[in-house]
Amino acid sequence: MSNFKKILDSFSVKETLNPKIWENPDDASKSVMKPKVRKALMKIAEKFVEFLGEDIFVDNIHLTGSLSNYNWSEFSDFDLHIVIDFNQFGKQSELYKELFNLKKQVFNDKHNIKIFGYDVELYAEDSKEPHYSSGVYSIMNNEWISNPKKFKENVDKSVLESKIKTWVEKIETAIEEEKDLEGLRKKLKEYRQCGLEKDGELAYENLVFKFLRRSGHIQKLFDTLNKQTDKELSIERTIQE
């Protein structure tokens, strides 16, 4: 099976929640997180809060994304969100959002934490920030905030494949020509956000974004953009001895 088809097939909806993570995975209304998984995630969250390095009040700790829903796959990861009311920082709230976002990137790059082979990705989430996943679980309170729902299999794979190929071509062309990389990055972000707001996590726009992330195209776009920036800021000269 080609990697393209393997990633495309990963968007199929499962009959149950992930049985490695959930007790009673076939019935979300009765399902709770397995104690050893919850304990591990709490420990990771505490380490991340400690890394943030500030005396902050944490409202909640959420697991969201495909591992808290029926669309999990081998490409899933633990989306662990530390929920914070940024109003506690007063006029500096926006500054702290930027700081914690940078620290999130440093923490995730510095660590390679896995549970059952799934990466753990951490994020400091504003308590007022909207979320689009139907499955949101409180690690702190050990209960569902938003119960996962079984999706109807309504994703047309041929339509999705066509949209994916269009974006793959856009990214590969931009990388090859080193042209309008930042503009394309912004368009892709807006493209995904528009889909999430309109149709939720199974929106074609969100699935396209997930495919590009899993295939490595987004990372290639970022890497090329960073190299281009480095080149623009550098001075080349020959040193003769």
Residue 238 is predicted with a pLDDT of 53
Please tell me the distance from the alpha carbon of residue 202 to that of residue 233, in angstroms, as a whole number: 40
**How many CB atoms neighbour CB 180 within 10 A?**
13
Q: Please check whether residue 238 lies inside any domain of the structure.
A: no
Please tell me the distance from the alpha carbon of residue 86 to that of residue 10, in angstroms, as a whole number: 36
Q: Tell me: the pLDDT tens digits for 19-31? A: 999 999 999 889 9
Residue 9 is predicted with a pLDDT of 85
Residue 196 is predicted with a pLDDT of 86
Between the alpha carbon of residue 47 and those of residues 50, 113, 196, 208, 229, the distances in Å are 5, 12, 30, 33, 33
Statement to judge: residues 61 and 130 lie in one domain: yes
Q: Please check whether residue 189 lies inside any domain of the structure.
A: yes
Statement to judge: residues 188 and 163 lie in one domain: yes
**How many CB atoms neighbour CB 146 within 10 A?**
16
Look up the CATH number of the domain holding residue 71.
Answer: 3.30.460
Cβ atoms of 146 and 134 closer than 8 Å: yes
Displacement of CA 221 from its chain's centroid (Å): 17
Q: What separation, in Å, do the N-terminal and C-terminal C-alpha atoms of the chain show? A: 55
Q: Please check whether residue 2 lies inside any domain of the structure.
A: no
Statement to judge: residues 141 and 23 lie in one domain: yes
* Residue ranges for the chain with pLDDT beneath 70: 1, 151-154, 236-241
Residue 239 is predicted with a pLDDT of 54
Local structure of residue 119 (DSSP, 8 states): E
| Amino acid symbol at 108 | N
* Number of compact structural domains in the chain: 2
Statement to judge: residues 138 and 161 lie in one domain: no
